[in-house]
Every structure is written in structure tokens, then in C-alpha cells.
Amino acid sequence: MNPLDNNVAPYAVYLCVAVFIYLAWRHPAGLCFSTATIRGIAWVEVGGVNYARLLVGMQAIAFCLLFWRTLTGPGQKRLLHFFSTRYSAPLWVLAVLWLKVIADIVVGGSNEFAREALKLSLSQVIFPTAFVLLSLACYGVTQSIRGYIWGMLLFSAAFLLPTVIPIWQEQRIQESLFGGTRLIIYGLDTISSGHYFMLGALGLLGVIMLESRRQIVTQLGWAGVGALTMLLYLNGTRQLLLALVLAGFMCLYTYFRNKSGLAVLIIGFLAISSYVLWDYLRQAEVRERFTAEAVAHEIESSRGEIWKEAMRYSLAHPITGSGFKRYGEITSRYNENTGSVESQLDGAHGFYQDIFAEHGLILGGVALIAFVYCILVIVRQINPAGRLDLWVFGVFYLALVPTYVFSGALADTPGPYLLSAGMLGFYLVHHETMPMWAMGWGLAKQPRRRAAPTGQ
């Protein structure tokens, strides 16, 4: 990390702690995005405790309070019914995968990568999953979705705002526009840095769609989305930009669907601006990443070859796989914060690809089926002409899919866990008018009402 980012990192920690306290009080579902703030500033100490440990402690306290509120209210019954339905199947699959992880460690022992992944899993996947589940059960769908949106926006803002001065002073945007660098913050890699630009833009989109009541707020929100999209482009992480573009166009369609003339003007302006910008950025290194040749090379030779090798390995070891954190190439990286060289395990470069390689073809296939089931549930239930909050909720989940198809691992990627926990929201909406006895596995149908007799 360079000195300027090093100097502003404590301010990011203070802002993230303030956001955590506010969300725990008003919108607990948004706490699921607290895990995103741990990278880059984990080393900062507050009262003699580094931020990573402080965050786990705050997550544990918030979890206990939310769990107690759920147990003492109607949320307990909602959770029990949910876990007896087909909507909870993806969470059960993830639970089985963790049983396999435990079996791998008991039978084959653990290595340094497994121990580090287990430490991260508590704050990265377990607590975020619990926050979404318990919030949906305790507060219902509408309030939880609002918390989800505000969590995206506020945590990304708390993380990004302190970096404005270093980015400006070091002219990082100009270097990304005309030089051979990609925009990063806090010394993170490009993917980790890009996550904050994407989450901030998605959070702004959600606020525009659900919370904005004044025209000036809406206009400023769209300007912010455009600025963060530009920063994400200069960051050059393709899967994150794809996710943001998908969500952006779906939200634009919803926002302007009753204003067809304005929609045509907006889309035309975006198309012309994109064309001009593409020509203007001909000197930027990131432009090369979005050419047809670069994408084809990524799919066929680079990441695609890694995926093929992972699949070949899972075919050769269909039942057990390689074991937890035993697949991949070990590389070394210099950590500027600690001044030491750290070893890293490069896995299959994909959440589900990693499951296939580490846990075998059978469990990998089951996990993939559960993932496809989640997507089908969302596609069937969201409707821009229906509940707008559920539409935004579903759109954001669908938009996040490329981020963990192209990267991630079982112990440190919250996306698939949040997707699986979010099934509780779709379950509650689908069954909110259905009697309790009919909630099971969906085999019983809601009884039809008899039509009122017509007059003679």
C-alpha cells in the first residue's frame, strides 16, 4: 500500500464502524455487506485491536441480538417453515459441502491455506448469511430489501470516500486513462478494488429505484452511477462491469418503461457517449481487456484452460475431489503492510469450479443444480410490473452471478450464500397469502375461492 492510502485507511475504518452501528440499528440486512470492507484495511488498529478482529466482534454481537429477536418473535416460525420447503434446498447443499470440508480436515488434516480460509469464513460467509436470513424472517421482505440496498451503498461509500484525495493527488485516473495502469485502491488487486465501485453503483441504483422522492436526488444518483461505472471501467475487471451493466439496463428499463420517449433519448445518449468514450480511451491499457481478442484469449487459453483442468480433475476424482484447499497452484506475493512474502493458493478461479475440483463431480453437480434452481426461482417471481422492491432484489442477485462464476471459493465468497439465503424472501412473498398447512414442499395448492353467485 502506498503512503497516501496508508494515511487515509484509519478514516475508512471509522466510517465503516459508524455505518455498521447505524445499519445494526435501522437495517440489519445491510450488515451482510460488512464483510466486503475487511480487505485492504484489516490491519488498521482501533484501541489496540485490528479492524479484522473488531469487525468479527461487532458481527457476533449483532448476530446474537438479531437471533434473539427472531427467536422471541414470529421470525422463528417463518424460519422453521422455510427450512422444510424446497426453497431452502440451496442452503442445505452448502451445509453438506461444509460437512465435506470437516471430513477432509479430520481425515487428511489441514494446511496453512485451509486454516486461513476457516478463519475468514466466519466473517466472510457465515455471519453475512445469518444477517440476510434472520432479517428476512424477523423484519419481512420490504424492510430487509431496503436494508440490503443501503448496506451496499453505505459500506462502499465508507470505504471509497477516504480514497478520493489519494486518487486525485496521485492522478490515478489520468494514468488509467492514458497510461498502462489499472485503477486500484488500498493496494488491493484489481478484482477486490473493483468490488467497491460495483457495490456503490448498485446501491445507488437501488436507492434511485426504491427510495428517491425528489428529482434532484434522482439526478445526482444517476450521475453517481455514471461516475462509479467509469471508475470500474478504468479498474478493468470485466465480470464486475458485466454485472453492473446488466443491472443498469434492467433498472433503466423499469425506470423508463412508462416514459418511452425519454427512454429512447437516454439510451441513445448512452450509446453515443460509449462510442465516443471508447475512441477517447484508445491509449488506456484497460481498453485492451475489452477487445474480442482479449475476451477470446481469456475464455480459450487463460481462465478457460484453468476451468477445463478443474473439470478434468473432478472427473478423475468424482467422489472426494482434491480435498479442502488442496487444489491449485501455490504462488507468492509481497505484502507491503507486513513487509513479508505470503503464499497464496490459486484455485479454479470460480466458486462452483472450485467445488468441482475440491469436492468432486457429484457434489459439484449437486451444487450447480441448486444454483440453477435459485436463478429459476428469481426469474419466475420477479416482474417489473409487480412488486418493485422484489424486482430490484432479484435483479441485483442476477447481476451478481458473473462475479462468483468467474472467481471465488467456498470459504470466502459470500455471493452464493446470500443468493441461497435470499430464497427466504422469495418464499415469503410466494406464500404470504397461503395457509400454514400448505407451505410444505409446495405439493399442496392454495384452495380456490368459489365465485360469487350471479344474480338471475
Average pLDDT over the chain, rounded to whole? 83
Q: Tell me which range, 241-245, 381-385, 441-445, is most confidently predicted by mean pLDDT.
A: 241-245
Is there a domain that residue 151 lies in? yes
Number of domains in the chain: 1
* Each residue's pLDDT tens digit, 337-379: 556 667 778 788 889 999 999 999 999 999 999 999 999 999 8
Is there a domain that residue 383 lies in? yes
Residue 213 pLDDT grade (very low, low, confident, very high; cuts 50, 70, 90): confident
Is there a domain that residue 86 lies in? yes
* Each residue's pLDDT tens digit, 313-342: 999 999 989 999 998 887 777 665 556 667
Residue scoring higher pLDDT (200 or 383): 200
Is there a domain that residue 445 lies in? no
Q: Tell me which range, 175-179, 390-394, 436-440, is most confidently predicted by mean pLDDT.
A: 390-394
**387 pLDDT exceeds 90?**
no
Which domain range does residue 179 map to? Answer: 3-438
Per-residue model confidence (pLDDT) at position 260: 52
Is there a domain that residue 443 lies in? no
Per-residue model confidence (pLDDT) at position 248: 84
Is there a domain that residue 22 lies in? yes
Per-residue model confidence (pLDDT) at position 239: 85
Is there a domain that residue 16 lies in? yes
User: Given the C-alpha cell 471508447, which residue does it identify?
Assistant: 278
Is there a domain that residue 452 lies in? no
**293 pLDDT exceeds 80?**
no
* Each residue's pLDDT tens digit, 412-421: 889 899 999 9
**141 pLDDT exceeds 70?**
yes
Share of the chain above pLDDT 90, in %: 40
**What is the mean predicted confidence (pLDDT) over 228-240?**
86
The answer to whether 5 touches 127, Cβ cutoff 8 Å, is no
Q: Which of 84-93, 305-314, 425-434, 435-444 has the lowest mean pLDDT?
A: 435-444
Q: Which of 36-40, 151-155, 353-357 has the lowest mean pLDDT?
A: 36-40
